[in-house]
Amino acid sequence: MRELLSLLFSISFLACSAQQVVIKSETNTLKKPKNIILFIGDGTGLSQISASQFFNENPSNFDRFPVIGLIKTSASNSLITDSAAAATAFASGIKTYNGAIGVNVDSTAVPTIVEIVSEKGLSTGLVSTSSITHATPACFYAHTKSRGLEEDIASFLVASEIDFFAGGGLNFFKHRSDGKDLIRVLENNGFSIDTTSLKMAPANKHGFLLANGGMPKMLNGRGDFLPNATQMAIEQLSQNKQGFFLMVEGSQIDWGGHANDADYLISELIDFDNAIGIALDFADQNGETLVIVTADHETGGFTLANDGGDYNKIKATFSTNGHSATMVPVFAKGPGADLFGGIYENTRIYHKMMELLNR
């Protein structure tokens, strides 16, 4: 009798714990983040990321991600994408042609994640080390046939619902061919605009345009602009109880790749890594924030080769001045991160984010 009782007890205990497991995994699947921070390392393939293991004095923040995926990056009209087609895939979920900013193959405007979530009451922000009107950030708020139309792109930014931005590109707002002063317009729209330093003024919306074109290189003394701007964006946007979407771009990792300049590339990569650390620290204590890190494409055909047969020496080498077709990694941490494992098209990044923000 005692044996039977104890058997019954263990069966019911097993049944009970099995049920608990199911319930737990269901809540895990259903858990959605309140906030998403999307990092785009322009031109950042696996060798670029590996450089952060070998050339960074500090432990790499990439090591903190539990979920890793790979994306296929082709554009609609070519095997190898540019930053515009790739960022349109992330921002709007469609494949389009190289050079397209927020438009489809017929040059028709497609809604962006920034436009959609703004309407749902979320706050939105963009940070880049290029001009804020450059291809990658532009695809999140503008719709132009060509990435070169940076004055038009600036006009889209002014008309957008974006709440925080930081980067370069002052010329496209201030010294324009149509003579308009878009800084004035932004200020009339409630923005505090700073063109000299990253300092938070008392206002609900902040814009920082700290260079005429792209921001200076790390090698030329840019300092902690990217991590600091990321921190300030999070501080402002997290005031919104409804949540926020923030995109942060390490723009010049790509430029180091185009220049086949390993020191340029690696210094930009380490800066990007530091900015990721800021977001992960926030997300870890916030608990409702998903951090995603990915790239639009790889640049330079960058390789950490052996140096003349010496397996104890790494020689950074390049195979092209342009982009390559290699798949690029996706890293995710936080509620919903599990969705980002596997191999899939770059457009899925958008659809996964929208699934998670649809609540």
Does position 249 interact with Zn ion (CB under 5 A)? The reply is: no
β-sheet bridge partners, residue 192: 206
Residues that bind Mg ion (CB under 5 A): 42, 83, 136, 251
144 strand-pairing partners = 101
Binding track, positions 284-323, relative to Zn ion; x by CB under 5 A = ---------------x------------------------
Select 269 or 279, whichever has its Cβ closest to Zn ion: 269
- Cβ proximity to Mg ion, 144 vs 289, nearer residue: 144
Which pair of structure tokens corresponds to residue 188? 């009339």
Binding partner of 251, given Zn ion, Mg ion, none, CB within 5-8 angstroms per partner class: Mg ion
CB of 123 to Mg ion, least distance (A): 23
Residue 267's binding partner among Mg ion, Zn ion, none (Cβ under 5 to 8 angstroms by kind) is none
340 near 332, Cβ under 8 Å? yes
Residues 6 or more apart in contact with residue 261 via CB below 8 angstroms = none
Q: For residue 59, what are its two tokens?
A: 């432990």
Nearer to Zn ion, 146 or 240 (CB): 146
The three-class DSSP label of residue 14 is helix
Cβ proximity to Mg ion: between 124 and 251 the closer is 251
- At closest approach, how far in Å is the CB of 343 from Zn ion? 23
Nearest to residue 320, comparing CAs of 97, 88, 45? Answer: 45
The Cα 191–Cα 178 span in angstroms is: 22
Least separation in angstroms between residue 221's CB and Mg ion is 21
Say which residue the tokens 């195979």 belong to. Answer: 319
Nearer to Mg ion by C-beta: 82 or 151? 82
- Of the chain, the end-to-end C-alpha distance in Å amounts to 53
Residue type, 20: Q
Q: Which is the catalytic residue, given 83, 118, 130, 267?
A: 83
83 in catalytic set: yes
Tokens of 335: 């509620």
Q: Which stretch binds Zn ion (CB under 5 A): 48-56, 65-73, 152-160, 248-256?
A: 248-256
| Contact present, 73 and 87 (Cβ < 8 Å) | no
- Counting residues that bind Zn ion (by CB under 5 A) gives 2
Q: Which is nearer to Zn ion, 84 or 142 (CB)?
A: 84
Torsion angles phi and psi, residue 50, rounded to 5: -60, -30
Neighbours of 30 (CB within 10 A): 9
163 contacts 236 by C-beta, under 8 angstroms: yes
Burial (CB < 10 A; 0-12, 13-18, 19+), residue 144, is buried
- Of residues 254, 268, 271, 296, which one binds Zn ion by CB under 5 A? 254
d(CA 250, CA 321): 18
**Shortest spacing between CB 205 and Zn ion, in angstroms:** 30
Query: Which is closer to Mg ion, CB of 35 or CB of 251?
Result: 251
Amino acid at 235: E
CB of 161 to Zn ion, least distance (A): 28
Shortest Cβ 296–Zn ion spacing (Å): 8
Build a one-symbol-per-residue string for 69-108: x at contacts with Zn ion by CB under 5 A, - elsewhere: ----------------------------------------
Considering the complex, what minimum distance in angstroms separates the CB of residue 164 from Mg ion? 18
Stretch that binds Zn ion, among 45-53, 95-103, 253-261, 266-274 (CB under 5 A): 253-261
Q: How far is it, in rounded angstroms, from Cα 56 to Cα 209?
A: 29
Q: Which residue is nearest to Mg ion (CB)?
A: 136
Chain residues in the site for Zn ion (CB under 5 A): 254, 299
Give catalytic residues, as residue numbers. Answer: 83
